[in-house]
Amino acid sequence: MRSRKRRASFMTGIAAVGVVLTIWTSHARTGAAASVQDLDTGSFDRLLDLYVRDGLVYYAAVKAQRAGLDRFVASFATAPARLEAQSIDRRKAFWLNAYNALVLQTVVEHYPIRGQSSEYPGNSIRQIAGAFDLRTHRVAGRDLTLDAIETTVLTELADPRLFLALGRGAVDSGRLRSETYVASQIEMQLEEVLQEFATAPRHVNLDRLAQEVRVSPIFGWRSAEFVAAYADRGWVDSGRTPLERAILTAVEAKLFPGERAFLEENRFTLQYHAFDWRLNDLTGGRP
């Protein structure tokens, strides 16, 4: 009788150990998958909500209250683990938030900017030596420049809308949002980015009198990505170049009916306007 009791107790113990091991294994398997989602964007989200308005930034206030920004930048230096194994939506949100935070940090470290180069406005982020192409940042265990994030990491995600969502620290950048990008909402957020970009005259301007369409040079900077995504989805028999077809296809559905009718006449020339590299600074008033 005692033998049967001891055997039953032993089997109960084995079962309990099995449950514990199952739970531990489950957590181990899901830990890496959750790591991107668990990255704390709260401090960065609060900063954007407080100090970003219509894509412009109160840089003086951000500099004075930069602790949250610095914590967020530090948080993604080594985390998350196994980033490349995560869903594409999580990777899109992660890299957009990282890029935009690094631009803000780069600016506030040199703010107020008073550069001497005649090539760019005096307060431009371009006055910071190597801001995009030389200064490296630790992101997800990699040392990357801002240009490297744009031209290698984001390119691999095969979504040209991402390039319109980059807050490049300039007036003519895509609008820096007053919120972080979130994996569960990234498709909606990127569609809003494209909508805003297509309908903002500083990015896409239709001049009926001059029969011209002037667009942001960002389309040209990332021409390969826009062509791959959009060139064969519209304007195929229009006689337009692949890049022109891509640009028109990307923006046309976002325009008003009268603007689409103007495009459908197909008598316009398409050209780039000069990019405004003035700092997107709201301190002291709109630029």
Looking at the fold, whether 111 and 253 belong to one and the same domain comes out as yes
**CA 174, 48, 52: angle at the middle one, nearest 5?**
60
In tens, the pLDDT along 49-69 reads 999 999 999 999 999 999 999
- 66 within a domain of the structure (yes/no): yes
pTM over 0.85: yes
Q: Which of 186, 80, 70, 182 is nearest to 139 (CA)?
A: 80
Q: Is 103 part of a structural domain of the chain?
A: yes
Q: Say yes or no: 189 and 203 in one domain.
A: yes
Give the pLDDT band (50/70/90) at residue 78.
confident
The verdict on 3 and 93 lying in the same domain is: no
Same domain, 184 and 87: yes
Is residue 277 one of the residues assigned to a domain?
A: no
38 burial (CB, 10 Å; 0-12 / 13-18 / 19+) is exposed
Query: Residue 1: which domain range?
Result: 1-38
Whether residues 108 and 241 share a domain: the answer is yes
- Is beta strand 137-139 parallel, antiparallel or unpaired with respect to 142-144? antiparallel
* Domain shared by 96 and 28, yes or no: no
Tell me the pLDDT tens digit for each residue of 217-275. Answer: 999 999 999 999 999 999 999 999 999 999 999 999 999 999 999 999 999 999 999 99
DSSP string over 228-258: HHHGGGS-TTS---HHHHHHHHHHHTTS-HH
Query: What one-character-per-residue DSSP string does 20-85 give?
Result: HHHHHHHHHHHHHHHHHHHS--HHHHHHHHHHEETTEE-HHHHHHTTHHHHHHHHHTTTPSTTGGG
| Structural domain includes residue 83 | yes
Whether residues 91 and 28 fall in one domain: no
| Same domain, residue pair 16 and 144 | no
Token reading at 18: 């099995």
* Residues 48, 90 share a domain: yes
Q: What gap in Å lies between CA 25 and CA 169, rounded to an integer?
A: 44
Q: What is the tally of structural domains in the chain?
A: 2
* 281 belongs to a structural domain: no
Q: How do residues 99-137 score in pLDDT, each as one tens digit? A: 999 999 999 999 999 999 999 999 999 999 999 999 999
Judgement on whether residues 98 and 80 belong to the same structural domain of the protein? yes
The CA distance from 268 to 208, in Å, is 8
Q: What is the mean pLDDT of residues 177-182?
A: 98
Q: Are residues 4 and 63 in the same domain?
A: no
For the ranges 145-149, 238-242, 256-260, 282-286, which has the lowest average pLDDT?
Answer: 282-286
Residue 57 resides in a domain: yes
**CA angle 166-170-171, nearest 5°?**
110
Residues 263 and 140 in one domain: yes
Q: Is residue 279 part of a domain?
A: no
- Whether the pLDDT of residue 18 is over 50: the answer is no
CA separation for the pair 146, 98 (Å, rounded) = 10
Q: Is residue 134 in a domain?
A: yes
